[in-house]
Structure 1
Amino acid sequence: MTPDTKQQTELVTAETEKAKETEKLRGLVAGARFVLFDFDGPICRLFAGHTAEQVAKDQVRWLEERGLRGLLTEEEQAEPDPHIVLRMVDRRHPDSDLVFELEKRLTLQELRAVESAYPTAHVDPLIRTWHALGVRLAVATNNSPLAAARYLTTRGLTECFAPHFYGRTQDLSLLKPHPHCLNRALSALGAEPSETLMIGDQPTDFEAAQSAGVSFLGYARNEAKVEELRAAGARVVVEEFKSVLKILGGRV
């Protein structure tokens, strides 16, 4: 095979794979009558200006001030995800006042972060288009539902979702990958799982969607996230929502 022939073959293969991905995406989008959005990631970067890593450090510092830093391993103390810090404390002191206070502090930090949250590209028109088409929408997140509702209000998108904001409760065992918030959304919407699409950016979102019996569309900001979602089992992953909007435009 000559270099030119090899290059042409590779181009044809790439185009074929791209066409297959587009058809898979079209099938997911066209079949959705209900759409559940994860919040931080698919809808916005909640901690764009108020970093999650700093929030996690504040949690560890708060524990240290109370002589409780030893609840966490050294690795957990360096964890940049505040949800993981919260989970670890809950695992050692489930349903305690300590966990209740730490969760309340995280909620306040998330509400504060809304002020500097950065919208995900093309998601606002995507939400409005789905809403205009009569597709029922809900938020299903591990963040506080109060933060999700406040953010969507700032974007003028509340009517597209309200009152369907389902998120973290004081029972942290129900965080995704547990399908609790998805099941709450399905029940409130009167949705059939077979007609429902979940959009998320974490393997835990995919696992929750699998448990709830709904279809899943992965959203990834970069190639590393694409690989992470595919490794978890996600069959369709997009790096931007423009392609989804284009498919919806064909249904208008």
Structure 2
Amino acid sequence: MPFETENDPNRLPHLIRRAQVVLWDFDGPICRLFAGHSAERVAGDLVSWVEGRGLHGLLTDTERESLDPQVVLRAVDRRHPGSDLVAELEERLTQEELRAASSAWPTEYADPLIRTWTAVGSRLAITTNNSPRVVRKYLASRGLLDCFAPHIYGRTQELRLLKPDPHCLNRALSAMGAAPEDALMIGDTTPDLRAAERAGVPFLGYARNEHKAKTLRDAGAETVLVSLQPLLERLRAQAGPPGAGGAPGRV
């Protein structure tokens, strides 16, 4: 099933029509960042680095065994916010993400969808918990940087402001002069959904498999795509044939 809605079968075209500004999460909707560079190994290396500094008791067993390097980073920040330890750990994660960007897998249909949305006049931004340096590297490698720049809002030293906090979404909206109701957030995790809710931005879920789709639906996402293809087709259909006119950003 290409997409599902809880109640309203017209919700997807409605979301597209309203989207003057589209806020994209990065890892998931645009690419699989760690497809060729194990996130599990990266998380393990971060744990080993922390413990190598004599801080074995800093992490809980659950955090130590996490497959997500961001879990490790945020756990350390909760106990030592703003410290040199956190700054160095964040930089180590950024370097791993930069290496991963070279072997990231593009999400199917993401590239043409990004170019089509740009062509019809909507403005695009990245709102991610990954490093903005990583996002720029990946987008440049795909010839997509101009579709987003300068609106790339990623991880900063203030880790408490990562999603589900809406900070990066609010930064994007403010910089682009956009009202929340005229934007659309595309994300693949519950923190993406919660950040969009807190920012007042309509949310479109993307999930690369049914298990992830169920997680988003159970969290309250009303529209979840398991492929970006129907979104691309709907966008092209609503844009109309070349030269048909229409207001930019109201596709």
Could you say which structure has the larger radius of gyration? Answer: 1
Is 2:189 aligned against 1:208?
no
Is 2:18 aligned against 1:43?
no
Shift of 1:68: 1.1
For residues 147 and 186 of structure 1, do their structure 2 counterparts lie closer, same or farther at Cα, with a shift above 3 Å needed? same
Structure 2, unmatched stretches of 5+, are 240-251
Partner of 2:104: 117
**One-letter code aligned to 2:172:** A
Shift of 1:69: 2.0
- Helix, strand or coil for the counterpart of 1:116? coil
In the alignment, the residues of structure 2 paired with residue 232 and residue 69 of structure 1 have an alpha-carbon distance, to the nearest angstrom, of: 34
Partner of 2:173: 186
**One-letter code aligned to 1:132:** A
In the alignment, the residues of structure 2 paired with residue 160 and residue 50 of structure 1 have an alpha-carbon distance, to the nearest angstrom, of: 26
- Helix, strand or coil for the counterpart of 2:184? strand
Q: Under a length normalisation based on structure 1, what TM-score does the superposition of the two structures give?
A: 0.91
* Contact preservation (8 Å) 2:6, 2:223: no
1:156 to 124, 143, 146: 143
Is 2:225 aligned against 1:230?
no
1:92 to 76, 79, 86: 79
Partner of 2:55: 68
In the alignment, the residues of structure 1 paired with residue 143 and residue 5 of structure 2 have an alpha-carbon distance, to the nearest angstrom, of: 34
Partner of 2:205: 218
Determine what percentage of the aligned residue pairs are the same residue: 60
1:143-187 deviations in whole A, cap 9, x for unaligned?
001101110000000110011100111011000000000000001
* Contact preservation (8 Å) 1:138, 1:164: yes
**One-letter code aligned to 1:114:** A
- Helix, strand or coil for the counterpart of 1:187? helix
In the alignment, the residues of structure 2 paired with residue 94 and residue 248 of structure 1 have an alpha-carbon distance, to the nearest angstrom, of: 43
* Cα RMSD for the two superposed structures: 1.5
**One-letter code aligned to 2:25:** D
Aligned length: 237
Higher RCO (CA 8 Å, separation ≥ 6 residues): 2
Partner of 2:131: 144
**One-letter code aligned to 2:154:** G
1:201-230 deviations in whole A, cap 9, x for unaligned?
000000000011110000001111111101
Shift of 1:140: 0.1
In the alignment, the residues of structure 1 paired with residue 9 and residue 161 of structure 2 have an alpha-carbon distance, to the nearest angstrom, of: 34
Partner of 2:41: 54
**One-letter code aligned to 1:170:** Q
Shift of 1:19: 11
* Contact preservation (8 Å) 2:73, 2:90: yes
In the alignment, the residues of structure 1 paired with residue 199 and residue 75 of structure 2 have an alpha-carbon distance, to the nearest angstrom, of: 25
Q: Which runs of 4+ in 1 moved over 6 A?
A: 17-20
Structure 1, unmatched stretches of 5+, are 1-13
Partner of 2:238: 251
- Helix, strand or coil for the counterpart of 2:12? helix
Partner of 1:3: none
Is 2:13 aligned against 1:26?
yes
In the alignment, the residues of structure 1 paired with residue 128 and residue 8 of structure 2 have an alpha-carbon distance, to the nearest angstrom, of: 26
In the alignment, the residues of structure 2 paired with residue 204 and residue 245 of structure 1 have an alpha-carbon distance, to the nearest angstrom, of: 24
- Helix, strand or coil for the counterpart of 2:238? coil
Shift of 1:21: 5.7
Q: Under a length normalisation based on structure 2, what TM-score does the superposition of the two structures give?
A: 0.92
1:20-66 deviations in whole A, cap 9, x for unaligned?
66521111112111000000000000000001111100101111211
In the alignment, the residues of structure 2 paired with residue 206 and residue 28 of structure 1 have an alpha-carbon distance, to the nearest angstrom, of: 15
Partner of 1:129: 116
Mean Cα deviation higher: 167-176 or 63-72: 63-72
